[in-house]
Amino acid sequence: MRLNDFNISTTAFVAIIFFLFLLLPPHDLQHVSVSERKDFLRKASIWHKMNIPSANLLLGPQSEISVTPEAEVSCVYVEEPPSRVGFSPKFRCRLLDSGEVVRIKFSNRETVAEVAGSRLLWALGFYTDDVYSVQLRCFGCPEKNPAHPGKNEARVERLITDAMMERTYNGSEIVQYSDQGWSWKELEAIRAESSPEKKTEIDALKLVAALMQHTDSKRSQQRLGCDSSNLIWSNGFPDCTESRLMIQDLGETFGEGSSTIDTLSAMYFKGWSQTPVWSQDRENEERKKNASMRMCFANLKSAGNDGLFDPAISDDGRMFLGNLLEKLSDQQIHDLFKASRADTTGEKIVKNGVLVSVTLNDWVSAFKKKRQEIVERRCD
């Protein structure tokens, strides 16, 4: 065999191997290619039908770690490098009864907001994490600061009464690199090529994000994932029969929308209750460009360049979310805020000239008013 013939054969062989490799399913869902991720993103499920009237918003989703609100939960502190990400102090802990490792947030309004936001999305049929308000008995906990323990800090038993417990995602994230998530701009690009039904669901998700004032909506706060029930093995590699889009961190919700994250971004009644659902300024601005424009724009300011800002909402999306919200009873809305301990933030407001604490009924009334804003609006 001549040398040139050998080179040609080798080149052809490499080309064939590369082509076959492209046909294989992703070898690792945490390190997919650009095209593989785009395909999972395009096909991802956003919403599933939920029997809303029967949803127990006080107890929430039932799983291996579900507990009643403010139940005492015991765990052993997990030693690992402290997280420097996020506004709320957090750490991981291994539950004594099941051995499952959970994420704990504490001592922050964000722990209240994340339960409220996650519980609402769960009840409506959108995908999110399972979170619960608990009193945490932590064994082997750093004596002063579990989130950022000092060098040689003593380990003790301590009770954290204002904790939030989050279940580790029961499945696999689908990413090219760690903490990639997805951006709302990517979701808008998907919307352009989606079916009418999926466009409606995307608009409903944008609108409920605005309803809650999901201020911290950068890409790392959203997850593209595959539930364990949808994980399969094909030719020795993991694959996913149904990918899902979800908002995974709702700690900066039910507050005052802003381009920065601060203490008023989470569970701040005065700011949230006075923030309108719809952006009249954005709509007026768009009508200057096109007088016949009748698209609605939800009112939302987000921190970061890749967040969600005053999103356009179709009337189909508005009606879809409005119909879901109308299925919630007054008791369910009350349970939503009770489960999250919305009346424990210490916030006070003026009623009839008297300074009083914010109550669960105040939150319920404000929620119903915002729901009515959505139901009564028309986006022709």
Cβ proximity of 123 and 175 under 8 Å? no
Domain boundaries, the chain: 29-52+179-376, 60-167
- The Cα 178–Cα 191 span in angstroms is 25
Q: Check residue 327 and report its DSSP letter.
A: T
- E-strand ranges in the chain read 71-77, 90-95, 101-106, 131-142, 155-167, 171-173, 222-227, 231-234, 237-240, 244-247, 296-297, 312-313, 348-351, 354-357
How far, in Å, are 208, 275, 344 from residue 379 at the CA level? 16, 19, 37
- The Cα 347–Cα 344 span in angstroms is 8
> Among the listed ranges 136-150, 193-207, 282-296, 347-361, which one has the minimum average pLDDT value?
282-296
Residue 23: the pLDDT is 45
Give 80-117 pLDDT, tens digit per residue: 876 555 557 899 999 999 999 999 999 889 999 999 99
Cβ proximity of 338 and 360 under 8 Å? yes
Looking at residue 212, its amino acid is M
- The Cα 104–Cα 92 span in angstroms is 6
Residue 142: the pLDDT is 95
Cβ proximity of 92 and 80 under 8 Å? yes
Q: Ramachandran region of residue 230, left (φ > 0), alpha (ψ -120 to 50) or beta?
A: alpha
Give 366-377 pLDDT, tens digit per residue: 999 999 999 999
- The Cα 249–Cα 244 span in angstroms is 15
pTM score: 0.89
Give 211-224 pLDDT, tens digit per residue: 999 999 999 899 99
Give 238-274 pLDDT, tens digit per residue: 889 999 999 989 999 999 877 777 778 899 999 999 9
Residue 20: the pLDDT is 43
What residues contact residue 51 under an 8 Å CB cut-off, 6+ apart?
A: none
Residues 216-237 as b or e (16 or more Cβ within 10 Å = b): bbbbbbbbbbbbeebeeeeeee
